[in-house]
Structure 1
Amino acid sequence: MSKAVQLDSFGGPEVLSVREVPAPQAGPGQIRVRVTAAGLNPMDWIMTADADTAARFGLSLPAGFGTDYAGVVDQVGDGATGFAAGDRVFGSALSRAVAGFVVVDAAGSVAANEAHRTPDGVDDPTAATLAIAGRTAAAALAVVSPGPGDTVLMGGAGGGVGVFAVQLARLAGARVIGTGSATSADFLRGLGAEPVAYGDGLADRVRALAGDGVTAAIDLHATETVDAARALGVEDKRICTIAAQVDGVMAANGASAAPGALAEIAGLVAAGRLRVPIAATFPIEEICAAVELQAGRHARGKIVIDI
C-alpha cells in the first residue's frame, strides 16, 4: 500500500484527501519511482478545478493530484532500458505525482509521463520543482530571445516560473525589470531583477526606471505586463505570455520548450549557476494548506510536498 492524494470530485483544495491505495506496479517498458518530493504548479489545481477543464487534460474521477516529482527508481519493468533500481530521477507524471509511488514510461518523451536522471549536486526537493516551471521559462525566453543590450520587463517575476525566467534572462546577458508587490522587492533583487510594483501606472514606473527603454517582455501572470510593454513601444514579436491569450502575442508553455531545455536547466542548477528558491515545504498530510498557499499566487518561489 502507498499514500496518495486523490479527489472524488473536482473543485478547490477542500476536495483533496490523502488515502492509502495499492502501490502501482511497473509494466513493460515502465519504471516505478519511489517519490520523495513533489513540486506544485498552478496547472495542478487549475486542471482539477472543474470537470470541463479536467476533461481537456484527459482526467476522470477518481483522480490523483500534482505533476512534478523526484525520487528513486525502485522497480524496472520488462524491456525498460536506461534506468536501474536505485537511480535518482525527476520528471512529470500528470496529476498523480503527490503519491508514494509513480509509474512512468522509461523512454517517455511526453512532459506528463517521463523520467530524467537527477544530476549530482541537485537534491530531491529542488529536482521536484524543475520540469514544468523550468520548461515553461525556457519556452518563454525562446520567444523573446533576450541577450546583451536587452532590457526585459518580466511580469510576475517572483512566482514559480519567474524565478527561472529571471535568472535565465540574466544568464543570457539581459537586464531584467521584474514586477511584484512592494514586499517582494528584496526577493526580486536576489534573483537579479530590478523590482517595480505592479498595478496602475506600471508603464510610467518602468519608463522612469529604464531610461533607455524596454526591448522585450514576458507576462507570467495575465496581461498587465503586455499592456505596459506595448505602451512602452515593445514590438509584439518580442512579447510573450504563458497564462493568457493576447491577439498578436505568442503564448508559450512547457510543451513548446526545445528538446534538451530541461537537461540544460538541471545542469545549471547542478553547477550552481541557477538557484531555485523554495518558498515552503509541506508534508503530504497538509496538501490542502499547500495548495491554498500556491493558489494564492503570492508565494515567492516554489512549493514542495515532502512525501
Structure 2
Amino acid sequence: MDLDLAQVRAFVRAAEELHFGRVAGTLGVSQQVLSKRIARLEFLLGVALFDRDGRGVRLAEGGARFLLPARQALAAADAAVAAAVGGRRPLRVDVWGHLYAPMRTLAQVAEEAGDLALGHGRDLASVSAALLSGDIDAAFGRVHPPLHAGLAHRLVRLEPVDAVLSVGHPLAAEPALRPERLRGSVLWAPGALDRLDFLHRFAERFGIRERATSVNLGLAHFLAEVARDARGFALLPADVPLPDIPGLRSVPLVEPTPLYAWSLLWRAGGGHPGLDGLAAACAARAGRLRWLEYDPARDWLPEPPTGTARAGPG
C-alpha cells in the first residue's frame, strides 16, 4: 500500500488535537475535506483510527497503534525533502506567547542564525503539534510541563517581569513592589488563566485570588483595559515597550523578581541543518548579555532552570 502523506498528516494532527475543526483550520482545508482524508485512510488500512460519538472524537485502538509510525513516516518524508533541496530551505520557526512579544528576543539572534522563515503559533500545544507533524522545524516561547516526549528544548533567556498598573492604583507610586503586596489587586489576563501557565502559577504562588479576563486583541487593547481598572494589574517582561496609553505605570517586582523563561523547542532525533546555527546564536547572545542569570534567593521561576533545558543541538 502506498500511503498518501496528506492523509497521514491529517490523521496525525487530528490525533494530537482531537478536534477536527481546529485541525482543518491549521491545515488550510475545510472540515469536510479533513474528514474525507481520514475516512479514506481508514478505508485503505481497514482499521478504525478514531471513535466518534456525540461528545467528539478520541483515538481508537488502531489509531493509537498507528500514531507513532505515522509520525515517523512524516518525519522521514520531511527529511527526504530537506536532503533534496540541501541548505536552500530556510529554517521554519514559529513563536508563541504574542502578548509577551517573543519576536523581540528572536530578532536579536536572527542575523547570526542564517535564513529563517518565521510564523506564529497559537500556544505551546499548537506549536508542539506542528513540530511533531513536521510542519515547522523549531519554535520559540515559554516551555512548561507536560511536554511531549518527542520534543527537546533549550533555555535561552530568563527575563524579569514588571507589574503594569493603572496610575489610579494605590500602589502605582511605589518605586518597586514585592509580589505579595498585589494580593488585594486584580490580575488581568489575555484569556482563560488555566491556559496561561505562567500567570496561573504566579497567581497561585503569591495568593492573587481576583482575576479578570480580556479578549486577546493585542497588547494595546489589553493594557487599555488595565488602565481603566484602578485595582487591576498585568504582568509584562521588563523590556517590552509599553504602548502610548495614558494612565499606565510599570513597576519592578522584587524579593523575589519573577522571571519569564524563553526556550528554543524542536523535534528530537534530527532536524533541519540550520537548527545548530540558531541554537549557537542564542547561546552566544545569552552569554554576552547574561540572559541566564538566576539566583533562587532573589528570583522566582515556576520551574527551576536546571530542570528546564535538555541536551540539544549546537
> What is the TM-score with the length of structure 2 in the denominator?
0.26
> What is the TM-score with the length of structure 1 in the denominator?
0.27
Which one has more relative contact order, counting CA pairs under 8 Å at least 6 apart?
2
Which one has the largest radius of gyration?
2
User: Quick check: which one's helix share is greater?
Assistant: 2
